[in-house]
Every structure is written in structure tokens, then in C-alpha cells.
Structure 1
């Protein structure tokens, strides 16, 4: 007889993937105003990776992997973290955290289109509606005059879209790649090597490094929260939920994260929420809902199960 799921743990896990993942945009925005983006991201992921290795050893989990698995974790670490997250952190210097979260919420749409282009997967009728709504929502989001009038914002929007492509292709790559079977170990390697590549990028671009004791208190707190909660706790919660509740319920984080990010950015950073952004968000998230309906969840859930390797 199987053990009944712990209701309290389920509630706490949902709180983690809703609030913590949604708040990482605010935390990155706070930290990147003071720290160079690649330095910030490299410290976060290298530290998180090392902590995961330590926790794994304490839990008696083997860290041994094959050369093929190692190679694939490095590729995944680049797609998800080095490029996918590092460039988002860089772009947050030029765009609001809530805007970035909204643009990134289009990821299910991009994954679906890439599955069609690369694998020839048939797009279900409900998903076609979702794609159309998603395109309309993204267009309304990025076509706002106050954004187009700022050259730096346009660059930020373009780079975030490139990150979308990287995250989405990474999802498809991970679904096929030979990787460590233990998701905790898998994530640890991806974070560690993704962080190493960000470290190298930081030195290549000549970023000026500083010691944590010289950072302001808000930045120190943001970094700790990003490492402990954004990189470890939320990911563990995500994978716990995948084993405990239905995938479509877990996928609701796709709808909630942008709302949390917009609200926190508005409250703490006085980021402007325009009427057009609200309309764009409603249309875009409705499109994501259609993509994640039960008719397509069988296809998409296999990728949702892999996306835990890349959440930040």
C-alpha cells in the first residue's frame, strides 16, 4: 500500500515553485545593479553546485558519472545556465524584472515550436490556439512605445529571446541526452560547470570582481536567497511535486511566476506596470494555458520533467 502524500509538504513545495521562482527575477535585478552579471551568476551556480555535491555525499548519493554523462551535463549547463541564465541576468540591467519574467513565460510556446521544427511533432489543435495567442501576447509586450524608445531595452529584449531559444533547445536536448539518473546529482554537475563557464566569461569580458563583505546588505541577502532557495530548494520542490501530483498542476508555475515577478518588481523597485503589459500578460498566459492543456500535456510533460534541471 503506497504512502499517502504529505499535504503540508505539497503546499510548501507549491509555495516554493510559485513564489521563489517568481522572486528570482527581483533578486537578480537587485544584485545586478551592483555586481557584474557574469560574476553574479557564476558565484551563484558554482556555490549551489558545490553545496549540492556536499548534500549528496551526506545523503550517501554517489557522484560518479560516465564521460558521456559528464559531457552532456556540460552542454546542458551551458544551454540552461551559462547562456540561458547568465544573459538574462545581464539583460536585467536594461529591462524590468517583471517584463523579463513575462517574456520568459513564452517558453512553452517556443518549446512546442522547436519540437515541431526539430522532431516533426504534431501540434494539437488546442496548442495551435495557444501558439497564436502567445505570439499576439509577445508582440503586445515588446511593442510598447516606452520600451522601443530605449535602445538598451531593445537589446535586452532581443537577448532574453535568445535565452528563450537556448532554454527551450536545452529542454529538448536533455530529454534525449544520457545524463546522471539522480536528478540532484545531475543538477549539481550542470550548476557547477555552468558556473565555471560563467566564471571564464566574466574574466574574458574583464568584469571587476569584489569580495562579498564589500557588497551592500541587500545584495548579500539576494545572493544567499538565490543560492539556497532559488538554486536548491525550489528545484527540489519541483521534482518532489512531479512525483507526487499531476504534471499539469506542476506546470501552473508557468502562469504564477510572471505575476509574482511583476508584483514584487512594482512593490520593491517601483517598476511600472502598463495597461498594455497587463493585456499582453493575460493573452500570453492564456496561450500558455492552451499549450499545457491535457491534450498536449502528454507531449509537454516529458520536457517539464527535464526543465527542473534548468530552473533558476
Structure 2
């Protein structure tokens, strides 16, 4: 009885982690990027997270040995998911609201489904077609607002976020067939570490000015620490735990909750504006994601979601 109660508590905490913590990463990145260069921020987050995960894996007795091919494949995945995908999204937070970014990114399953059709010839189910149509309508309503597209680099940011979603979608299909380390924890550790190193190179290449944590504002320092500890390590572990304990459909519900959490936190802490049209767009977009996450698609989409939150 006690074991079942303890397991229920852990499951509840794990859901809290993937709902609230992942939903809050947009706010945390938005706060941190006010003082830190985007690629430097992402580089620190994933390099440190990767090192910590590798240390934990070693302490757990997991083998860190990989083949050259596996190392190459983790590098490709790390670049597509983290260096390019996450790094650029963090950069866009200099120009667009965190809630908006979260809403646009909630259309990820739509992009995955379309690429599966184009690259793999996978037949799209009727419910998924409805989801795609609703997703397109939702995105249009979201980005067609004048206050969102007008301003420095805002339109560019919207386009780049979409390109990042395409990068994540292609990467999700790539890792589905690629030869990667068998242990998921080790696999992610390599991806984070290599992706983080590539982000460091990108940051130095772009001439970003690095600074010591001692010079950071308190809220920025806490945000970076939260991104590393909670956003990358704890939430990731919780996600994998839930996939073993509950159905993928239930785990996939984080797709609907994360944008709502991000919108609320952005409004509450940063004073970001939530218009009526944004609320309607969010409802239609998330309804589309619901239709896309049919039982036949959900297993693939669930495996894909973890990459975008790392």
C-alpha cells in the first residue's frame, strides 16, 4: 500500500515537472536573455547539463562507451535539436514575447506530421488532417496580429521559430532510425554535451561577449540555474519515468499545458499582453494538436517532444 502511494506521489510530481517546469522555461529564458547573449546562455545551459547527466550516468554504473557512428549521430541530433533549434529560439526571445514563442512552438506535432508525409510517405489520418487545418488557422490568427509582426526583427523571429520547428521535426525522424547509444540517458547526455560545445563555438564565432556569473543579476543567475537543474535534468528524467509508468497519451498532454503555463507566467511576471485574438488562436491551435495526437501518432510525437524541451 505504501509503495503504491509513494508511486502515485512520484507520478504527480513528475507530471508537475513536465507541465509547469517545461512551461516555465520560456519565461526563464526570456529573463536570462535580457542580460546574457542568446547562444552563450544556451551553451552554458546544455554544456553544464550534459556534463551533469554524464556524471550521474557514470555513478549509476552506465557505460559511456559509444561507437564512432553513434558519436556522429548524437552530434547531428545535438546540432539540429539544441545548437540550431534551441539556440535560435532563445535569440528570438530578444524580440517576441515568451508566451507567443510557446504558442507557435505548440504547433510542433503539425510540422512533424507534414514531414512524415513528405519524407516517409506516411498516410495522414482523417483526424490528423483536421488537426493540420486547425493548426494552420490557429497559427495564422496568432501571427496576423499587427502588434506581433511589427517591430524590430519580430517578423524574422516568427520565421526563424518555424524553421527551428522544421529542424526539430526532421531531427525527430532522424533519431528514429539512426544508430544511437542504447541507453536513453547516455544518449541525451551526449547530445546535450556536444550540442552545448557547438553552441560555445557558435557564440565565440558570432563574437558574443561572455561574462562571469558573478556579474549577473540575481534573477538572471537563478533563471540559468533553474534551466539547468529543473528544465534540462529533472524534467527530462520525469518525462522518461512517466513514459514507463503511464500511457503515452497521458504524457503527451504536456503539449496542451505548456503553452498555457507560458502565457500565464509571461503575463504575470513580465506584463506580456494577451489579446482576445491570441486566446482564440491558442484554443484553435491546441485543438488542432489534440486531433493530431491520435493513438496511431502519439507514440512518435511523444518521443519527439522531449527533444524540444531539453
TM-score, normalised relative to structure 1: 0.96
In the other structure, the counterpart of 1:305 is 303
Distance in 2 (CA, whole Å) between partners of 1:190 and 1:24 is 19
In the other structure, the counterpart of 1:265 is 266
Check whether the contact 2:98–2:266 (CA below 8 A) recurs between aligned residues.
yes
Distance in 1 (CA, whole Å) between partners of 2:203 and 2:90 is 13
Q: Offset of 1:306 from its aligned partner?
A: 4.4
Q: Which runs of 5+ in 2 are unaligned?
A: none
TM-score, normalised relative to structure 2: 0.97
In the other structure, the counterpart of 1:237 is 238
Instruction: Summarize the alignment of residues 1-312 of structure 1 with structure 2, pairs less than 5 Å apart.
Output: 6-294=7-295, 298-312=296-310
CA offsets 1:235-293 (integer angstroms, 9 cap, x no match): 11111111111111111000000000000000000000011100000000000000013
Q: Offset of 1:57 from its aligned partner?
A: 1.0
Q: Offset of 1:51 from its aligned partner?
A: 0.3
1:208 partner SS: coil
Q: Offset of 1:307 from its aligned partner?
A: 3.5
Check whether the contact 2:22–2:235 (CA below 8 A) recurs between aligned residues.
yes
Distance in 1 (CA, whole Å) between partners of 2:149 and 2:173 is 32
Distance in 1 (CA, whole Å) between partners of 2:304 and 2:286 is 21
CA offsets 1:143-164 (integer angstroms, 9 cap, x no match): 1011222242111111111111
Deviates more, 1:87-96 or 1:141-150: 141-150
Check whether the contact 1:27–1:223 (CA below 8 A) recurs between aligned residues.
yes
Deviates more, 1:277-286 or 1:142-151: 142-151
Distance in 1 (CA, whole Å) between partners of 2:41 and 2:168 is 19
Alignment RMSD:
1.2
Deviates more, 1:32-41 or 1:174-183: 174-183
